[in-house]
Structure 1
Amino acid sequence: MPARRPPPGCRCPRRLSGQGEVFKAVANIDVGPVRRVFAPWLDPKAKPFIEFRNVTKKFGTFTAVDDLSLTIYEREFFALLGPSGCGKTTMMRMIAGFEDPTVGDVLLEGQPLAGVPPYRRPTNMMFQSYALFPHMTVETNIAFGLKQDGMPKAEIADRVAEMLKLVKLEPFAKRKPHQLSGGQRQRVALARSLAKKPKVLLLDEPLGALDRKLREETQFELTDLQQDLGMTFVIVTHDQEEAMTMADRIAVMDHGRIVQVATPSEIYEQPNSRYVADFVGDINIIEGKVERCADGHVTLNTPHGTIEAAYEGDIAKGSDAWFAIRPEKMRLTLDEPAEAHRNCIAGEVWDIGYLGDMSIYHVHLGDGVTLKSAQANTTRLLQRPISWDDRVWLSFDADAGIVLTR
């Protein structure tokens, strides 16, 4: 039986060679719903491939990147995620050499990049607009950078053929960009970026011009390609789903600073702040006061009732805290649960969003707050027992959400 790829969304096992015993140990570390064997950031002996050391970048009086430090490892698919204006593209441009830090250093393989022009850096950048030459064919677009470098014609022909095969565009070699679909143009731009075989491929919102279905398909193609090539990819995106699907790790950014760096499952399940929790995915956040914190649990008094949640740490009684829980982890029932005195909130269904595989229920509470509950549609729509204006109960387990203190 031929070998099969891991299922979509599963990034293990990676094709590893010579990574040492540390990865055998890391393979048994559970960091969420996905087990990984590729985790050099867990190895204290691993050396960063790309490193930002206390980097600040200013444009006049505006600070785009603010005293930022970050490490990215070889063969990692790393995502810089954040809203427009948070500094993620500026960081990528500093790696590429299009911008220089105002303060601090950017290093590649331990060597400072200061003073090295873009064309001498072992990096290549793929832009959202693709920037293909309209008068050139697919193969001449891919060959352009190789010709500029003075590569012999025979080698160029071999490399172009290799890239066309890699992105599955061999039948389209003689076509021009206007004769291609959006997805095919995206592949041409990718092949051109990879043709020079850079050590780092920088992707600036590379899938933004594609429709949703094609974008989802291309996300998995990119991850497969990156694994096959064993290359370091750094992607800039504001699309959380895109980052969660493709990246080994994500850096969530806000106003020129990195708020959290972690794997997709850790970012989703263990956000370190309300900003990260709210930015990545849909979430309900309930404010309360700490009544008790002991024995691995914290009790919160909220306007909607008592919440008891798992919490490893210590919070002083009377402190402000927030309970964050994803909609899919909230049970929704017409009947009051047996333990309604805790982790149970009553409300009224004000709206229902039907998404096919699931429905999102907007439950309005008495004080104007609305919580969301995501329920799988295991029965036909006409048989759904909960509808608009119904009095319902939201309930959840103590470990279904996370307590945040900032």
Structure 2
Amino acid sequence: MTNVRTDARKRDSLAIGAVRRDFAPWLDPAAKPLIRYEAVTKQYSDFVAVNNLTLNIYEREFFCLLGPSGCGKTTLMRMLAGFEEPTAGRILLGDQVVSGIPPYRRPVNMMFQSYALFPHMNVEKNIAFGLVQDGVPKNEIADRVAETLRLVQLTPFARRKPDQLSGGQRQRVALARALIKRPKVLLLDEPLGALDKKLRSETQFELMDLQVNLGMTFLVVTHDQEEAMVMADRVAVMDKGTIKQIAPPGQVYEQPASRYVAEFIGDVNIIEGKIAEVGEHQVRVTRSDGAGTLLIDLQNEPVSVGQEVAVALRPEKLVLHRDLPTDTPNVLSGDIWDIGYLGDWTIYLVQLASGQIVRVSRANSRRFVEQPLTWDDKVHITFASEAGVLLTH
């Protein structure tokens, strides 16, 4: 039997893929942001939650604020929603400064992590609540509720109460209630945090499809790196009320702007050292543990001989060998200290002579592996010169 939903998504994916692939208004000097944070500070007594922050978000962008608890990401969202006011600076939506405008008069809507559904109302009434409060005519409410139910695939559950729904279905009701008022911007605060891992992964792609089809601007707050990397057009990595880097997910991962970003996003190994030699396209780094040098491709940031640097190495870019290779300048040698089998990947923790633990990811591309590496085996780790990222701060 044909899976109608899967077929529909396959048809839609062609258009969605084209939109996401070509969408990059931040690269266009003539593009005008929809949302502008201009030198915004938010202070509570002696605690600065947001510190002189400037940020532009564009129409139809899926933008993600990513960072640890207390970094200021939720405060940024709440100021746009109208639940907080800036201590200094201003926030613009379109050409309008939003300070002083009450939340219910702003063209934004917010979906909370808790979903905040009314337990005594069925799905239809929960979704319609905002329209009823606004005095929208009954026939229009009925049409818009039916349309939104179809959009989030909840039509068969319209008469159920929240306690009769799964976690994923309750999440869809909350999303539908936020969407039905057709806001310019949808704010999502940890939107998938209450879902299990499998459902969360499925819902990430559904949210992406929905956002493209609606042509709406989504601003998401999360501490979940995978969630941000999968869904966002751009990610802003935050720390202590400031933004450390804004870029598309691939750039944040492959070209972190600082050690903080490299260590916060994904798994990374950091090798300390000093610049020993600077060439036209590569630099030679003397390792701080005294175990030789590394040859690393130059990035955009200039460096000089004697400068202290760190080399960031992603685990999946490292290769394990039993025998010492002779055809590469970049070798780290040690003993296998621990092993983690994840099904699709195996994680090896290799202890170097200095005591440092290096994490190596190996794809399990074959069902059976001859002579598998095991605990206490002596191994050698190699990597290409372009695999290392030089970090100067």
Shorter chain as denominator, the TM-score bin is: over 0.9
2: distance between equivalents of 1:382 and 1:317?
A: 44
Please list the CA deviations of residues 333-380 of structure 1 after superposition, one character each: whole Å capped at 9, or x if unmatched. Answer: 10111136x210101001111000010100001111000110011233
Name the counterpart of 2:76. 91
In the aligned structure 1, how far is the partner of 2:327 from the partner of 2:369?
30
Residue of 338, 349, 353 corresponding to 1:351: 338
Q: Relative to structure 1, is the Cα distance of residues 379 and 310 closer, same or farther in structure 2, using a 3 angstrom cutoff?
A: same
| 2:1 is aligned with 1:13 | no
**Which residue, out of 189, 197, 209, partners 1:204?**
189
Residue 305 of structure 1: which of 285, 289, 292 is its match?
A: 292
* Correspondence 1:393 to 2:380: yes
Separation of aligned partners in 2, 1:213 and 1:384? 33
CA distance in 1, matches of 2:325, 2:93: 57
1:11 CA drift (Å): 6.7
Is 1:322 the counterpart of 2:329? The answer is: no
Q: Please, which of 302, 319, 322 is the counterpart of residue 334 of structure 1?
A: 322
What is the letter of the counterpart of residue 370 of structure 1? I
Alignment partners' CA distance in 2, 1:273 and 1:391: 32
Q: Render the CA deviation track for 1:266-307: whole Å, top value 9, x for unaligned.
A: 000000001000000001110001001121111100023211
Structure 1 residue aligned with 2:4:
none
Q: How does 1:116-135 map to 2 (within 5 A)?
A: 116-135=101-120
Tell me whether 290-299 or 138-147 shows the greater mean CA deviation: 290-299
Aligned to 1:373: 360
1:4 and 2:11 matched: yes
Q: Distance in 2 between matches of 1:111 and 1:209?
A: 34
How far apart, in 2, do the equivalents of 1:87 and 1:384 lie? Answer: 50
- Equivalent residue number for residue 110 of structure 1: 95
TM-score (ref. length: structure 1): 0.92
Match of 2:33 among 21, 36, 48: 48
- The corresponding residue for 1:234 is 219
Q: Distance in 2 between matches of 1:124 and 1:107?
A: 16
Q: Secondary structure at the match of 1:260?
A: strand
Alignment deviations for residues 187-225 of structure 1 (CA, whole Å, 9 cap, x no partner): 000000001000000000010000000000000000000
Q: In the TM superposition, what is the alpha-carbon distance from 1:314 to its structure 2 partner?
A: 2.5
Are the counterparts in 2 of residues 58 and 65 from structure 1 also a CA contact under 8 Å?
yes
Long gaps (5+) in structure 2:
1-6
What's the CA shift for 1:232? 0.1
Distance (Å, rounded) in 1 between the aligned partners of 2:294 and 2:214: 48
Work out the CA distance in 2 between the residues paired with 1:95 and 1:305: 52
Alpha-carbon distance in structure 2 between the residues aligned to 1:106 and 1:52: 5
Residue number in structure 2 paired with 1:291? 276
Distance 1:162 1:328 in 2: 44
Is the CA contact (8 Å cut-off) linking 1:125 and 1:204 kept in structure 2?
Answer: yes
Q: Distance in 2 between matches of 1:69 and 1:305?
A: 43
Contact 1:48 1:110 in 2 (8 A): no
Query: Which secondary structure state, in structure 1, belongs to the residue aligned with residue 17 of structure 2?
Result: coil
Alpha carbons of 1:102 and 1:161: their partners in 2 closer, same or farther (altered >3 Å)?
same
State the Cα deviation string for residues 158-209 of structure 1 (Å, max 9, x = none): 0000110000000000000000000000000000000100000000001000
C-alpha change, 1:388 and 1:5, in structure 2 (3 Å) is: farther
Matched, 1:169 2:167: no
Moved over 6 A (4+): none
- Give the CA RMSD over aligned residues: 1.6
Change (3 A) 1:204 1:384: farther
- Residue 402 of structure 1 is matched in structure 2 by 389
Change (3 A) 1:355 1:5: farther
Once residues 292 and 52 of structure 1 are traced to their aligned partners in structure 2, the CA distance between those partners, rounded to angstroms, is: 42
1:223 aligns with 2:212: no
Which secondary structure state, in structure 1, belongs to the residue aligned with residue 148 of structure 2? helix
Match of 2:121 among 136, 143, 158: 136
1:8-51 Cα distance to aligned partner (Å, 9 max, x none): xx973118xxxxxxxxxxxxxxxxxxxx3100000000001000
Distance in 2 between residues matched to 1:366 and 1:105, nearest whole Å = 53
Question: What's the % identity of the aligned pairs?
Answer: 60
Contact 1:293–1:314 (CA<8 Å) still a contact in 2? no
Instruction: Measure how far apart 1:383 and its partner are.
Output: 3.8
* TM-score under structure 2 length normalisation: 0.95
Q: 1:382: how far off?
A: 6.4
- Equivalents in 2 of 1:297, 1:237: separation in Å? 37
For residues 267-286 of structure 1, what are the structure 2 equivalents within 5 Å? 267-286=252-271
Residue type matched to 2:277 in 1? Answer: R
Could you tell me how far apart the structure 2 residues matched to 1:133 and 1:317 are?
A: 64
Report the AA paired with residue 17 of structure 2. Answer: C
Task: Name whichever structure is richer in helix by fraction.
Answer: 2
AA matched with 1:349: I
Native 8 Å contact 2:16 2:212 kept in 1: no
* Aligned counterparts of 2:84 and 2:157: Cα–Cα separation in 1: 36
Q: How far apart are the structure 1 equivalents of 2:16 and 2:253?
A: 16
- Specify whether residues 356 and 11 from structure 1 end up closer, same or farther in structure 2 by C-alpha distance, changes over 3 A only: farther
Q: Number of residues paired by the alignment?
A: 383
User: How far did residue 128 of structure 1 move?
Assistant: 0.3
Q: Distance in 2 between matches of 1:11 and 1:359?
A: 33
